[in-house]
Amino acid sequence: MSFLSYFISGVSLGAVYAIIALGYTMVYGIARMLNFAHGDVIMVGSFVIFTVVSTFGMNPFIGIAAGVLACTLLGVTVERIAYRPLREATSLAVLITAIGVSYFLQNVALLIFGSNAHQFTSVVSLPNLVLAGGNLTVSSTAIVTIISCIIIMIALTAFINKTKMGQAMLAVSEDRGAASLMGIDVNKTIAVTFAIGSALAAIAGALLCSAYPSLTPYTGSMPGIKAFTAAVFGGIGSIPGALIGGIVLGVIENLSKAYISSQLSDAIVFAVLIIVLLVRPTGILGRKINEKV
């Protein structure tokens, strides 16, 4: 039974990774950039929710709404100020500004909230699910996380396939130049992508901090890297890939923490990533790139 319990919390952790990975994968697919600051957007979202809920004592739903709104604005602003001027520059230059933005967000949070950990109050206040006559307890946070992840995946897939903006996103990711010739506003499409990715980051922040309540200005950093790993693992640019990558990574991480070594769990996660990429160089669902001679 303990295996099942570790497994379920692994799936739940993986679901958070998957939601974060969506932000990476969409931005990468459409703007061709690694948004290293994405993890820190999660942290900002969590702090907004923390402030609204714990400091002002408001309803968690208002907190999440405020977090989503703040992150959406943040994502769009950052894109406009720091990334858009570099649209035609090398991908390395964009990577460096993203790192700059990441440092910036961390240090602003450090100035406002200090470096001490804050205790995040879970946004999920439902009772835990007790199964198998008390042998298996599934936390309500885990259930809510997994359900949220499924809803987000379905909604996002529908958005991309059914709406005009979603189709524009596909077009821009396929060929930015051609899309722009077809009358698609590339800048607007990329801004919307950032908005969606950042809004999802706020939700991921709420779920992450509900499960792991210690909140510091560096909270988003490692989950960000893990989620990025998950996105690459599943095949960067692919939405189902982000889901698969996130879940697989979360489960491996939790099981190795439980059965092998908590200090080595990160190493194991990364080792699995390396093995997968050596077998499938563009991730599980990534498209194969053939260079034409």
Partner 1 sequence: MTKNKVRIQNAVTYGMVILFWVVIQVMDKTGHLTSLFKGLLVPLCMYAILAVSLNLTVGILGELSLGHAGFMCLGAFSGAFLTNCLETAVPSVGVRFFMALILGALVAGVFGLLIGIPVLRLKGDYLAIVTLAFGEIIKNLINVLYVGRDANGFHFSMKDTTSLGLDEETGVVLIKGAQGITGTPRAATFTIGILLLLLTLFIVLNLIHSRTGRAIMSIRDNRIAAESIGINITKYKLMAFSISAALAGMAGVLYAHSLSTLKASSDNFGYNKSILILVFVVLGGLGNMRGSIIAAMLLTALPELLRGLNDYRMLIYAIVLIVMTIFNSSPKAIELRSVVMSKLRGGAKKEVA
Tell me the closest approach of the beta carbon of residue 6 to partner 1, in angstroms.
20
Label residue 181 exposed, middle or buried (CB < 10 Å: 0-12, 13-18, 19+).
exposed
- Would you call 73 helix, strand, or coil by DSSP? helix
Rounded CA separation 18/20 (Å): 5
Among 42, 64, 101, 207, binds partner 1 (CB under 8 A): 101
Q: Does 263 bind partner 1 (CB under 8 A)?
A: yes
For partner 1, the closer CB: 36 or 47 = 36
d(CA 143, CA 179): 40
Beta bridge partners of 215: 118
Interaction mask 19-38, partner 1, x per CB under 8 A:
---------x-----x-x--
Q: Are 97 and 83 contacting, i.e. CB atoms less than 8 angstroms apart?
A: yes
The minimum distance between CB 288 and partner 1, in angstroms, equals: 11
φ/ψ bin of 290: left (φ > 0), alpha (ψ from -120 to 50), beta (otherwise): beta
Per the CB < 8 A criterion, the answer to whether 36 and 99 are in contact is yes
Binding to partner 1 by CB under 8 A, coded x per residue (else -) over 272-291, reads -xx--xx--xxx-----x-x
Q: How far is the CB of 281 from partner 1 (least distance, A)?
A: 5
267 sits near partner 1 (criterion: CB under 8 A): yes
Of the pair 164, 291, the CB lying nearest partner 1 is at: 291
How many residues would you count in the chain?
293
What mask of x and - would describe binding to partner 1 in positions 209 to 238, judged by CB under 8 A? ------------x---x--xx--x---x--
Instruction: Give CA 58 to chain center in angstroms.
Output: 25
Angle at 59 between CA 213 and CA 13, to 5 degrees: 30
Among residue numbers 234 through 253, which ones bind partner 1 (CB under 8 A)? Answer: 236
Beta bridge partners of 108: none
Residue 208 C-beta: closest distance to partner 1, Å: 19
For position 96 contacting partner 1 by CB under 8 A, the verdict is yes
Classify residue 162 by burial, with Cβ atoms within 10 Å: 0-12, 13-18, 19+. exposed
Of 114-153, binders to partner 1 (CB under 8 A) are none
76 binds partner 1 (CB under 8 A): no
Number of residues that bind partner 1 (CB under 8 A): 47
CA distance linking residue 251 with residue 221, whole number of Å: 20
Residues in a beta bridge with 65: none
| 112 interacts with partner 1 by CB under 8 A | no
Encoded amino acid at 177, one letter: G
Q: Which stretch binds partner 1 (CB under 8 A): 44-52, 55-63, 104-112, 118-126?
A: 104-112
Q: How far is the CB of 236 from partner 1 (least distance, A)?
A: 7
Nearest to 256 by CA among 268, 245, 248, 244: 268
Minimum CB distance to partner 1 smaller for 88 or for 132 = 88
Can you give the binding site for partner 1, defined by CB under 8 A? 28, 34, 36, 82, 85-86, 88-90, 92-93, 95-97, 99-101, 103-104, 106-108, 110-111, 221, 225, 228-229, 232, 236, 261, 263-264, 266-267, 270-271, 273-274, 277-278, 281-283, 289, 291, 293
